[in-house]
Structure 1
């Protein structure tokens, strides 16, 4: 997929045309509470970072919440979810109490198999479990589960290979990659035609900023959000990406207070 100059103007930033090929887009430069807007074939994707690994993504025909934790009040003002994605079972990604509070009558869940086993019965009835290499569809969105795991020997205990998911979503002509908790695996580096990516970087659970920047250089998303980065410096990551590739813009969201 080729991204045109028009594609780079979707965040609604005055003066974006004057930015360098790889730019840091700070949250304060955007309209707070409005979300980040990206053009699709027939509408737009609107992304609102919430906290850590939780975010809301409104798409043509479906509102998606990723790894919602922290209680319903944290998501006040957000559109109700049609789909909730859960990457894995750790409590900063999977919280049954929050799910019970936010899941509505028509909400679907897509989870990995280990989370499926831990869901309360009423939520399990609304859920589809897919493992690495499997796919499903919810409304107009196609969802591929991709591997998310640690490769460094002393980190493998946190996210063993084959258990946890990342997701690649096909949304109205765009591909969105939610990496989940992972290091810079071969599967991450081999991703193609990714428009928006969410990449974690905190130690010892995922990867450091050097690994994350190297992976981004390999698969070259049009836009990348560093997320799940507590204890790491997202601006340093942005500088490393800028030094490695001119194909990717780094978007800094307000993930932590």
Structure 2
């Protein structure tokens, strides 16, 4: 596994702090795949919070929601990660339909609501805890709101983000959060999947300020469609991050099935 600063494939076209990855269709209804770590890690965006990650240790499904057909061309999961209970992150019926016998790692709140058939292969991990599954180290990072009028969406102590260690690489998945101290204190992050949408999580400005503090090698904006004009522009985020003097590269990827916006 390559070291930090060696995560883009040779085919990526880089301009300043913004990297535009070439579009490569992965099947009907799918955005192009992101190839990282010299091809050892491949990420297939499904939609919004949901994606599939192929790693040398196995296939990881993240916040698996949507239609089963969206996963038809994907490899079967070896592990399923769930950050929290909201409907754009957790769907028990879909997990039962396409999850096979893959173990599920989730926050305690979702664990408590899982039906028995899923709970029997699930493990709860709370904020600040760590575990290992199929040679992947996994840390649960607190994910919550800190802005007064958003506190109702993600209360402190309930939801998870994750840092997943794949070989020598550290991959951060934010889940739904604002730029909380625990995010800003992260270290040695190679790839960061960072949410930004209003009113539920944070705007591009707050996201850029937080990311500038922990300075991942590569940032992939995801989960950026909001409500009532709250959709965030990844290009604006990239500009704000560059203005903050961060050395991170921002991937402008086709996350939402044919369009960046």
- Please indicate, yes or no, whether the TM-score normalized by the shorter chain is above 0.5: yes
Deviation at 1:75, TM superposition (A): 1.4
The equivalent residue for 2:9 is 11
More helix by share: 1
| 2:73 alignment partner in structure 1 | 77
- Structure 1 residues 218 and 14, CA, compared in 2 at 3 Å: closer, same or farther? closer
CA distance in 2, matches of 1:125, 1:180: 24
User: How many aligned positions are there?
Assistant: 246
C-alpha contact 2:126 2:160 (8 A) present in aligned 1: yes
> What is aligned with 2:23?
30
In the aligned structure 1, how far is the partner of 2:256 from the partner of 2:82? Answer: 20
Contact kept in structure 2, 1:114 and 1:163, CA below 8 Å: yes
Show the counterpart of 2:171. Answer: 176
Q: 5+ residue gaps in structure 1?
A: none
Q: Is the 8 A contact 1:52 1:229 kept in 2?
A: yes
Deviation string for 1:168-212 (max 9, x for gaps)? 111111000001100000000110000010111111110000000
Does the aligned pair in 1 maintain the 2:18–2:252 contact within 8 Å? no
C-alpha distance in 2, partners of 1:215/1:115?
27
User: CA shift at 1:243, angstroms?
Assistant: 2.1
Counterpart position of 1:250: 250
1:101 maps to which of 97, 102, 122: 97
RMSD between aligned residues? 1.8
User: Does structure 2 conserve the Cα–Cα contact (< 8 Å) formed by 1:96 and 1:119?
Assistant: yes
Give the distance between the partners of 2:197 and 2:19, measured in 1 at CA: 19
Q: Is contact 2:23–2:254 with CA below 8 Å preserved after alignment?
A: no
Report how far residue 253 of structure 1 moved.
Answer: 2.6
SS in 1 for 2:110: helix
Contact 2:35-2:41 within 8 A present in 1 as well: yes
Structure 2: state its 5+ residue gaps. 27-31, 226-230
For 1:58 and 1:133, the matched residues in 2 are separated by 25
Q: How far apart are the structure 1 equivalents of 2:167 and 2:125? A: 22
2:189 aligns with: 194
| Deviation of the 1:244 alpha carbon | 2.1
**Equivalent residue number for residue 60 of structure 1:** 56
Q: Distance in 2 between matches of 1:245 and 1:216?
A: 11
Indicate how the Cα distance of structure 1 residues 163 and 246 shifts in structure 2: closer, same or farther if over 3 A, else same: closer
Structure 2 distance, partners of 1:24, 1:208, is 21
Q: CA deviation at 1:25?
A: 1.5
* Superposition TM-score, scaled by structure 1 size: 0.90
Match of 1:226 in 2: 221
- In the TM superposition, residue 254 of structure 1 has moved relative to its aligned partner by 2.5
Cα drift, residue 23 of structure 1: 1.5
Which whole-Å CA distance do the structure 2 matches of 1:163 and 1:152 have between them?
16
